[in-house]
Amino acid sequence: MTEACIRTAVEAIHSSPYQAVLYLAGGASQALGLLLSVPGASNTVLEAVVPYSRMSLIQLLAKIPSQFCSQQTAQDMALLAYNRALKLSTPGSPVVGVGFTGSLASSRPKHGEHRFYLSTRTAERLWISRVTLTKGLRTREEEDKVSSHLLLKAIANACKVPSNAISEMSELDVSDECEKQFNEDQELEQLINGQICFKIYPFRSEIPAERKIILPGSFNPLHDGHLKLMEVATRICGDGYPCFEISAVNADKPPLSVSQIKDRVNQFEKAGETVIISNQPYFYKKAELFPGSAFVIGADTAVRLVNPKYYDGDYNKMLKILIGCKETGCTFLVAGRNVDGAFKVLEDLDVPEELKDMFISIPAEQFRMDISSTEIRKRSGM
């Protein structure tokens, strides 16, 4: 394997639109150096974590695996990496999660096989491979090199770029692989079930900014008031990528069905507006999912957000949760809405002093539209 072949594959990875998070344990360490040493790495690598000790891997997985070096562990690592990549990526960029776990040659002779498992996860595909190396054929450094090159090949395949020249296997080594393909319905089912954290439909034609301006709602239906509010909020923010957001999971209702989600997504496709489907109905969870974002809400939502009643009547609990949102870098843009029969704006609300700089008012002279999706449904008999 020549350095030129490796470099060509890495350059192709960096030229692809894919962004990646890598979780590697027990080998493939040279893959990181190869990825990061070629210009353009920041286009691809969002984060790389090496949970090398058992305790580190347990904390990453949030469980004790039945086997640390196994297909299931690599698959779990890839899924965690995929969800992490969704959170860190530029809106609309395709992402890949990479998981690797190995048991290679070490300072002490091994009774078991020298083997490793690697897995990649994208929106539409889960790929898993097991490789068993011939004992005594290579040094630890050479086994790490083999695993690193095969990991780069897996990343290239996930990014849909050529990688045929990458091969370090001997005739005595054994490998097998399997994959699962996902369609949109299956991906949405995974979202509803909590396996993946969100799915983004990037229908806007403009180049996405890193910061998101998010208008959450049910959008049943989407109407002109929503579109106008987003337009005004984007102007006030000055920068950011406008995204509407629907939680498929509700706090006090059954989750949306796949067909309901797709019907609502169709509205945004027609309007040319980006929409995110998440599974987090609570704002403190949305803040963890979309750190640094500006959330666009109505005064009616803001009233509930700063009311201890919705935090088991505990003012300190409310403060702690909302300060946690603030620490993620999130802000709330508040538009005037009718609250208990009266039109109210942010200045009419009792916001705790510690939180005031997290809330930004949308002046009534810039936006006021009393139409609601509920009223539209009533008028149309929906």
Is pLDDT at 376 greater than 60 in this prediction?
no
What is the rounded (10 degree) CA torsion for 373, 378, 381, 382? Answer: 40
Helix, strand and coil content of the chain, in percent to the nearest 5, comes to: 40, 25, 35
Mean pLDDT of the residues in the chain: 93
Q: How many Cα atoms are found within 13 Å in the side-chain-facing hemisphere of 227?
A: 11
- The residue ranges of DSSP E strands in 250-352, in sequence order, are 275-278, 294-298, 331-335, 337-339, 342-344
Per residue in 49-77, pLDDT (tens digit) is: 999 999 999 999 999 999 999 999 999 99
- In SS3 terms, 342-364 reads as EEECHHHCCCCHHHHHHEEEECC
pLDDT at position 205: 83
Dihedral sign of CA atoms 234, 237, 238, 239 in order: negative
pLDDT at position 378: 63
Sequence-ordered list of residues with C-beta below 8 angstroms from that of 139, at least 6 positions apart, any chain:
105
Identify the DSSP state of 13: H
Per residue in 286-339, pLDDT (tens digit) is: 999 999 999 999 999 999 999 999 999 999 999 999 999 999 999 999 999 988
What is the three-class DSSP state of 281? coil
Identify the DSSP state of 282: S
Buried b (16+ CB within 10 A) or exposed e, 29-40: bbbbebbeebee
pTM over 0.85: yes
Q: Is the peptide bond before 255 cis (omega within 30 degrees of 0)?
A: no
Burial of 214 (0-12, 13-18, 19+ CB in 10 A): buried
pLDDT at position 239: 85
